[in-house]
Amino acid sequence: MTQVPLAEGLFTWPAADPALIAGRASDGSLTFPYRSHRLVGGAREELEKVELPRRGTLWTFTTQLFRPTSPPYAGDDTEETFEGFTVGYVELPGALRVEARLTEPDPAKLRIGQEMELRIVPLGRTKDGDTTMIYAFAPVQEEASP
Amino acid sequence: MTTPDIAIIGVGLHPFGRHGDKSALEMGEDAVIDALDDAGVAWNDVQELWASSMEVKNPEAITGLLGMTGIPARSTFTGCASGATVLAQAANAIRLGKDITVAVGLDKHPRGAFSADPSVSGLPLWYGQAGMFLTTHFFGMKINRYMHDHGITEASLAKVAAKNFRNGSLNDKAWRRTPMSEDDVLASQYLNYPLRQYMYCGPDEGAAAAVLCRADIAHKYTDTPIYLRASQLVSRREGALELMSPALSLDDTASPTIFASRQAYEEAGISPEDVDVIQLQDTDAGSELIHMAENGFCLDGEQEKLLAENATDIGGRLPVNTDGGLMANGEPVGASGLRQVYELANQLRGRCGERQVADARVGYAQLYGMPGTAAVTILST
């Protein structure tokens, strides 16, 4: 079964260490998701494609406990099989706070400020039966104390 | 306080709730007739109409029910801030030369959460496919961070909800009239952590209206005109934590409510201490709590103490959402802002019976919604 990105240009794929793709203006400001251009000080400027840091800290989060209206929601589940998930903003140092699904569904196991890292996870299926892949952030497993 | 140029001489309401087959326009008709009766004005004397609705494409078609007199009838929609916008437009029509104008909001939403194609919000399809195109995420995420930064407890969220349901139980026009204890609220399930089921408002149906005239002729119609002291609307700024934002700048920017509030106090020439009765957008209990600070009624974090002292109750020093707010009335989006005006006008005229705030002279109403728009209206006797 083939894995395909949910949308082209969201993250580097296929890649050993995938990263989210943003647009960078000449003043250093970043836009995610990437757009080809934006207005900077009133002037149209083409944006440079850059990769965002893969690690950051959890800035805030919440839960999604009912199945979002479908469409647009395109998860590989039904009203019966839907499992609640969490979403949050992850602060990527020197870059942006990016909104993303989190891999840990239990809010009691999440903590504002904890280390998170990027994962590419399955979401749904295309009409050809391929698996769509979306970015998410996972808690970084803290090293066990000696 | 500055000298007012616009007066509200009548307010009307079609109660919010669920009303079977009754159409949104028919509810709007009832609200306008109620407001005209209150003002002692005939529909034929109205010179301009502004209407707002989310579900009805042409709410200005209400002239078909009220009487097709040929007046300019227009609609405008600014999400949850729509009620303030049509009130401002009806006021501006008077500044441009009309004598009497009407503002009306009406809506009839299907059950359940709002949904749409992400493209209508300028967002890519994948954002919706991934399950992130939901306004409720924003409310959960904003209050979670706020509680972390400012030491707010879940018990305070429950106090806000219980207070609004208690106020709703005193309002015979409210949708939810059953009081709910803080324990009941805390026993309901999480929808968007840390927000629980009974900490949210729900979409419903209803209409509200106001009749406006030049301040200098208001006494021809009523002994108790209510003056429009300020009306400000502010859209989101780059970097602010807003609804439906796939990414945010690291440079924090204040919410549009903060700007709208400051501008409104300046326009009215008053400060927060001068306000007697308050309406805040309580899409959820967390929003009301945050909006207390964003509108200048307390410092960030002070809500914990104020709520413990019941300061936002009807008998407290900062009475908020005396009619039960969105939580007890639900939100017909196009009408919600004029429901706030209806309650404030009645409070300022001393008509609120059991839920009357003693000697209320200045009322304050704030709205916030998609796509990051805030509006503040200040009224006074």
Give contacts of A61 with chain B, Cβ < 8 Å.
Answer: 141, 144, 193
Give the tens place of pLDDT for each residue, A34-91.
Answer: 999 988 778 899 999 999 999 999 999 999 998 998 899 999 999 999 999 999 999 9
Are residues B125 and A62, on separate chains, in Cβ contact within 8 Å? no
Q: Do residues B250 and B369 share a domain?
A: yes
Domain assignment present for B123: no
Domain assignment present for B176: yes
- Give the burial class of B350: count Cβ atoms within 10 A of its Cβ; 0-12 exposed, 13-18 middle, 19 or more buried: middle
Contact call for residues A133 and A4 (beta carbons, < 8 A): yes
CB proximity A28 to B under 8 Å: no
Whether A146 shows a pLDDT value over 60: the answer reads no
Contact call for residues B179 and B188 (beta carbons, < 8 A): no
What pLDDT shows up at residue A142? 67
Give the tens place of pLDDT for each residue, A109-137.
Answer: 999 999 999 999 999 999 899 999 999 99
Backbone phi and psi for residue B256, each to the nearest 5 degrees, phi listed first: -60, -25
Per-residue pLDDT of chain B (381 residues; tens, 9 = 90+): 778 999 999 999 999 999 999 999 999 999 999 999 999 999 999 999 999 999 999 999 999 999 999 999 999 999 999 999 999 999 999 999 999 999 999 999 988 766 678 888 889 999 999 999 988 899 999 999 999 999 999 999 999 999 999 999 999 999 999 999 999 999 999 999 999 999 999 999 999 999 999 999 999 999 999 999 999 999 999 888 888 899 999 998 999 999 999 999 999 999 999 999 999 999 999 999 999 999 999 999 999 999 999 999 999 999 999 999 999 999 999 999 999 999 999 999 999 999 999 999 999 999 999 999 999 999 999
Q: Which of B182, B213, B228 is the last residue of a domain?
A: B228
Helix (H, G, I), strand (E, B) or coil at B363: strand
Domain assignment present for B119: no
What pLDDT shows up at residue B118? 86
The first and second tokens of residue B143, run together, are 């209050």
Higher pLDDT, A143 or B9: B9
What pLDDT shows up at residue B122? 85
The first and second tokens of residue B71, run together, are 């007046």
What pLDDT shows up at residue A41? 78
Q: Do residues B358 and B249 share a domain?
A: yes
The shortest C-alpha distance from B249 to chain A (Å) reads 5
Q: How many domains does chain B have?
A: 2
The residue segments making up the domain with residue B349 are 134-198+229-380
Q: What is the ipTM of this complex?
A: 0.94
Are residues A62 and B189, on separate chains, in Cβ contact within 8 Å? no
Q: Do residues B273 and B336 share a domain?
A: yes
The first and second tokens of residue A112, run together, are 């504002």
Structure-token match 């960030």, residue found: B300
Domain assignment present for B127: no
* CA distances from residue B190 to B59, B139, B148 in whole angstroms, order as listed: 36, 13, 18
Nearest C-alpha in B relative to A95? B250
The first and second tokens of residue B264, run together, are 């409104």
What pLDDT shows up at residue B111? 83
Domain assignment present for B128: no
Mean pLDDT of chain A: 93
The shortest C-alpha distance from A112 to chain B (Å) reads 8
Single-letter amino acid code for the residue at A113:
G
Domain assignment present for B117: no
Nearest-CB residue to B118 (from A66, A72, A96)? A72
Beta bridge partners of A57: A91, A115
Backbone phi and psi for residue B336, each to the nearest 5 degrees, phi listed first: -60, -40
Compute the average pLDDT of residues A11-37: 94
Q: Do residues B177 and B209 share a domain?
A: no
CB proximity A13 to B under 8 Å: no
Nearest-CB residue to A63 (from B128, B193, B248)? B193
Structure-token match 């400051």, residue found: B262
Assess whether the previous peptide bond of A72 is cis (omega < 30° from 0): yes
Nearest-CB residue to A87 (from B113, B117, B132)? B132
Helix (H, G, I), strand (E, B) or coil at B126: helix
Contact call for residues B110 and B116 (beta carbons, < 8 A): no
What pLDDT shows up at residue B228? 98
Domain assignment present for B302: yes
Residue B169 CA to residue B177 CA, distance in Å, equals 4
C-alpha angle B130-B281-B275 in degrees, rounded to nearest 5: 155
CB proximity B115 to A under 8 Å: yes
Q: Do residues B179 and B301 share a domain?
A: yes
Q: E strands along chain B, which residues?
A: 6-17, 48-52, 73-75, 100-108, 190-192, 195-196, 205-214, 226-235, 247-249, 277-279, 362-369, 373-380
What pLDDT shows up at residue B223? 95
Give contacts of A68 with chain B, Cβ < 8 Å.
Answer: 115, 128, 131, 133-134
Q: Do residues B158 and B233 share a domain?
A: yes
Q: Do residues B29 and B174 share a domain?
A: no
- The residue of B144, B146, B243, B284 whose CB has the most chain A CBs within 10 angstroms, and thus the best one to mutate to test that interface, is B144
Whether A145 shows a pLDDT value over 60: the answer reads no
Q: Using CA of residue B224, residue B225, residue B230, residue B231, what is the dihedral sign?
A: positive
Give contacts of B112 with chain A, Cβ < 8 Å.
Answer: 69
**Spatial CB neighbours of B223, under 8 Å, sequence gap ≥ 6:** none
Angle, helix B256-268 to helix B285-294, in steps of 10 degrees: 50
Nearest-CB residue to B130 (from A95, A112, A123)? A123
Whether A143 shows a pLDDT value over 90: the answer reads no
Structure-token match 């395109």, residue found: A74
Q: Do residues B221 and B262 share a domain?
A: no
Are residues A72 and B129, on separate chains, in Cβ contact within 8 Å? yes
CATH number at residue B172: 3.40.47.10
Output the furthest CA–CA distance in chain B (Å, rounded).
Answer: 58
Q: Using CA of residue B282, residue B55, residue B127, residue A103, what is the dihedral sign?
A: positive
The first and second tokens of residue B160, run together, are 């806000």
Q: Do residues B239 and B336 share a domain?
A: yes
Q: Do residues B305 and B191 share a domain?
A: yes
What pLDDT shows up at residue A144? 54
Q: How far is CA B24 from the centre of its chain?
A: 18
Nearest-CB residue to B192 (from A62, A112, A132)? A62
Nearest-CB residue to A64 (from B134, B144, B247)? B134
Are residues A73 and B247, on separate chains, in Cβ contact within 8 Å? no
Q: Do residues B210 and B268 share a domain?
A: no
Are residues A33 and B124, on separate chains, in Cβ contact within 8 Å? yes
Are residues A101 and B245, on separate chains, in Cβ contact within 8 Å? no
Domain assignment present for B341: yes
Helix (H, G, I), strand (E, B) or coil at B258: helix
Q: Do residues B221 and B257 share a domain?
A: no
Single-letter amino acid code for the residue at A28:
G
